Amino acid sequence: MTIQINSDKNLAVHEAFGDKLKDTLSDKLSRFSEHITRLEVHLSDENGSKEGIHDKRCMIEARFEGRQPVAATNHAGTYDQAVDGAIDKIKAVLDSAIGRVKDHHRHQV
């Protein structure tokens, strides 16, 4: 599973934060790793240099072999909170998407 981290012009992702983020994603999404070929993480600060509540955004897109990608987005006050929320949301999306595939295969047999 390849993990790519992208950020907007308002954020420079330092190597240590990027490595921590990749480790967290690998750990928390490990049970889906056989289904996911690529994860793309997009971090942004929607208010730029201005202060704002819940202006940190994390969008995680998961790509499957031969299927449409799925995504989840979360807004929070910090990047860590935004990432944690997006991980929780993408887990639910993946559970649903992978469950549908398993049900589809079960009904075809």
Nearest Cα to Cα of residue 13 among 107, 95, 70, 80: 80
**Cα pseudo-dihedral 38, 40, 73, 49, rounded to 10:** 170
- Contact between residue 60 and residue 72 where contact means Cβ atoms under 8 Å apart: yes
Write down the pTM of the prediction: 0.84
Q: Count of residues for the chain?
A: 109
CATH number of the domain bearing residue 98 = 3.30.160.100
Tally of structural domains, the chain: 1
Segments forming the whole domain that contains residue 77: 2-108
| DSSP 8-class letter at 46 | T
pLDDT of residue 61: 97
pLDDT tens sequence across 2-45: 999 998 876 777 788 889 999 999 999 999 988 899 999 999 98
Query: What is the average pLDDT value for the chain, to the nearest integer?
Result: 85
